[in-house]
Amino acid sequence: MLVKATLVKATLIKAILVKVMLVKAMLVKATLVKVKLVKAILVKAMLVKVTLIKAILVKVMLVKAMLVKAILVKAMLVKAMLVKAILVKAMLVKATLVKATLIKVILVKVTLIKATLIKAMLVKAMLVKAILVKVTLVKATLVKAILVKVILVKETLVKATLVKATLVKATLVKAMLVKATLVKATLVKAILVK
């Protein structure tokens, strides 16, 4: 009975040991499976992480490219605006210069016209002066001629008056002589009659 009990005990111990070994093996297998699963999850997580990082980097690069493009577009627009502003300024400067040139030409033309008018007025004034001088000379000549004529007429009248006076005087003298002769004759006749 002791032998039998020992054998039973040994069988039970062996069965327990087998069972423990099986449990241990199952636990080891489960641990390996768990490790493999954890490893697979970690690998998958790393792959997902790498994919996400890659996607983020691509997105960052795209954003960076878009920003660079936007900056370039903005720079081109600014450059275009500056070029346009420079062209507008150049056109305004050109327009101002053209306007100044036109004003200068107009002023020169006005000055020339003014000078021509002044010259014409001076020539006209000189002609009027010459005409007035000529008229004055003609008038003076006429006045001189009239005065000479008046003097000649006056001299003629004076001469005629003197001649007339002389003739009157001669007539009076002759009349007086005739009268005296008649008186003398009368006296002689009276004396002779007496």
Give φ, ψ of 58 to 5 degrees.
Answer: -60, -45
Closest CA relative to residue 76, chosen from 64, 62, 68? 68
Min mean pLDDT across 9-18, 73-82, 96-105 is at 9-18
Ramachandran bin of 6, using left for φ above 0, alpha for ψ from -120 to 50, beta for the remaining angles: alpha
Q: Does residue 59 have a pLDDT over 90? A: yes
Give the C-alpha separation, 162 to 156, whole Å. Answer: 10
**Mean of the pLDDT values across residues 137-154?**
91
Task: Say if residue 38's pLDDT is above 70.
Answer: yes
Q: Is the pLDDT of residue 42 over 70?
A: yes
Euclidean distance between CA atoms 181 and 2, whole angstroms: 255
Average per-residue pLDDT in the chain? Answer: 91
Using one digit for the tens of pLDDT, what is the confidence trace for 124-136?
999 999 999 999 9
Ranges assigned E (strand) in the chain: none
Buried b (16+ CB within 10 A) or exposed e, 49-61: eeeeeeeeeeeee
Which is more confident, 185 or 74? 74
> For residue 194, what pLDDT band results from cuts at 50, 70 and 90?
low
- 75 pLDDT above the threshold of 90: yes
Signed CA dihedral, 150, 156, 160, 166: sign only? positive
Residue 112's pLDDT band, with cuts at 50, 70 and 90, is: very high
CA 25 to chain centre: 104
Residue from 94, 50, 79, 9 nearest 102 by CA: 94
Q: What is the mean pLDDT of residues 112-122?
A: 95
